[in-house]
Amino acid sequence: MILVKNTPDGISSLCVNLRRAGMACVCFAAFAPPVLAANISVQKNPDSGLLAWTMEDEGISIELIQLLPDFVRAIYSAHNFPKAEVEAIASWCVFGTILKNTSQQQMSYRVADWRYIGEDGVEQPIKTKTQWIEQWRRAGINFSWTLLPDSGDFEVGDWQQGFTTIKLPRDSTFDLVISWKLDGEKHVGKFENLRCAPESLK
Amino acid sequence: MPRTFVLMLAFYCLLPPAQAAWEPEKLGRNLTALAKPLPAPDFALKDMDDESYSFADYRGKVVLLNFWATWCPPCRREMPSMERLHQMLDSDVFKVIAINQMESPDHVFAYTGQLAVDPTFPILFDSDSSIANAYKVKGLPTTYLIDKQGMIRYRAIGGREFDHPDVVKLIKQLIEE
């Protein structure tokens, strides 16, 4: 569970319940950038029921689109991935991600700084493109595209898209804390109650 | 119908309305000027007809160098504007080159055959992404505008409307240098 608490002086504090460690609550107040109350919209495809979340925040627009496992399988099968690797990534919770710099300054991000919090309340890092590529190279694959790049320095008008992978089962819900920098200043935003796509369309 | 087009169709069918709303949004026109121009790495690649192209042969011309793939939606969206740009400017002083990433010539041939306007600029094949790596391309599409001396002067990450007057003006400035 992740709690965002706004103090009267405007400083947010982030309390992380670390159940696994048996710790009650660790609060960061003065040193962590505030988690912003972002403008997040959710859209549902009336035909498929699949969801997409869009966060419009200071200098950034990020859209996360549920992807069905069969779609992920089709993409990687089309690039001649071995079946084991196709099933490996299809077993993850995969989102199509569209990331845009909406500011008039440089916007930077690093996927390694992003965290997801599943139903167990434990904060976890996101597997990066580089980590997937290392795994794929060991399996003899040299394909290196489709995933959201590990990092980016986006100038005015730059944007990018790619897959974001979360190691959670189908239909899981989780929160996602993302961070980015605008001209060197760190910003943090949070998606709450994101849901992994189901195994298939009903 | 090639498998990729079935996949693309499936992708668009699966996208929620948010994506449908995003899709018609106009592509941007901003190219970022590099604070310090960098030399464009040389390369020799083949096109669909197995004809070799050496980047060194383009010295003295301004080049719009685009890294792309058929499965990449913004790559597909910006391609018609690249063709219009290519048709608009004098080929003696300006060239568009598109470098496909890790797809087969047969596959790309099938894709271009379905476009309303067949691209007339060279489409080259970077089968192992070694040229994209040399240009430090992290994601697709990425496009560089290279001056007559072979220096990278502008960069765009993500799709753009390359025949927008603002982009054309930049290119003409480089041509006139």
Q: Could you state, in order of their start, the residue ranges of all structural domains in chain B?
A: 3-176
**Which whole-number Å values give the CA distances from B120 to A95, A201, B112, B171, in the listed order?**
35, 41, 10, 19
Nearest residue in chain A measured CA to CA from B100: A145
Kindly determine whether residue A48 and residue B160, on different chains, have CB atoms separated by under 8 Å. no
pLDDT band for position B118 (50/70/90)? confident
**The token pair that represents A100 in the structure block:** 């845009």
Which of B7, B14, B32 comes nearest A78 by C-beta? B7
The answer to whether residue A189 scores a pLDDT higher than 60 is: yes
- For chain B, the maximum distance between any two Cα atoms, rounded to a whole number of angstroms, is 48
Note whether residue A59 is domain-resident: yes
The answer to whether residue A45 scores a pLDDT higher than 60 is: yes
Q: In the prediction, which pLDDT does A33 show?
A: 53
The answer to whether residue A151 scores a pLDDT higher than 90 is: yes
Q: Averaged over A9-14, what is the pLDDT?
A: 32
pLDDT band for position A17 (50/70/90)? very low
The answer to whether residue A1 scores a pLDDT higher than 50 is: no
Q: Averaged over B65-79, what is the pLDDT?
A: 94
Note whether residue A5 is domain-resident: no
**Which whole-number Å values give the CA distances from B109 to A100, B114, B119, in the listed order?**
31, 9, 11
Interface check for A158 against chain B (CB to CB < 8 A): the answer is yes
Interface residue ranges in chain B relative to chain A, Cβ cutoff 8 Å: 3-4, 7, 10-11, 13-19, 21-22, 28-32, 69, 71-74, 101-102, 128-129, 138-140, 155-160
Question: Mutating which of B70, B138, B142 best tests the A interface, going by the most A Cβ atoms within 10 A?
Answer: B138
Which of A54, A68, A160 comes nearest B14 by C-beta? A68
Nearest to B64 by CA among B55, B52, B51: B55
**Model pLDDT for residues A49-69, shown as the tens digit of each residue:** 899 999 999 999 999 999 999
The answer to whether residue A37 scores a pLDDT higher than 60 is: no
Note whether residue A82 is domain-resident: yes
Query: What would be the CATH architecture of the domain defined by B3-176?
Result: 3-Layer(aba) Sandwich (3.40)
At A89, which CATH number?
2.60.40
**CA pair distance A123, A140, nearest whole angstrom:** 32
Q: Averaged over B110-131, what is the pLDDT?
A: 92
Note whether residue A53 is domain-resident: yes
Kindly determine whether residue B22 and residue A98, on different chains, have CB atoms separated by under 8 Å. yes
- From the CB of residue B51, how many other CB atoms can be counted at a distance below 10 Å? 10
- From the CB of residue B80, how many other CB atoms can be counted at a distance below 10 Å? 16
Domain total in chain A: 1
The answer to whether residue A88 scores a pLDDT higher than 50 is: yes
The answer to whether residue A113 scores a pLDDT higher than 60 is: yes
The answer to whether residue A11 scores a pLDDT higher than 50 is: no
β-pairing, B94-101 vs B123-126, is: parallel
Mean pLDDT of chain B: 88
Secondary structure (3-state) at A139: coil
Note whether residue A48 is domain-resident: yes
Nearest residue in chain B measured CA to CA from A142: B128
Q: What angle do CA B160, B163, B164 make, to 5 degrees?
A: 75
Note whether residue A15 is domain-resident: no
**Which whole-number Å values give the CA distances from B78 to A166, A175, B102, B148, B160, in the listed order?**
30, 34, 19, 24, 6
Note down the domain range covering A153: 34-195
Mean pLDDT of chain A: 84
**CA pair distance B86, B89, nearest whole angstrom:** 6
Q: Averaged over B95-99, what is the pLDDT?
A: 98
Q: In the prediction, which pLDDT does A35 show?
A: 55
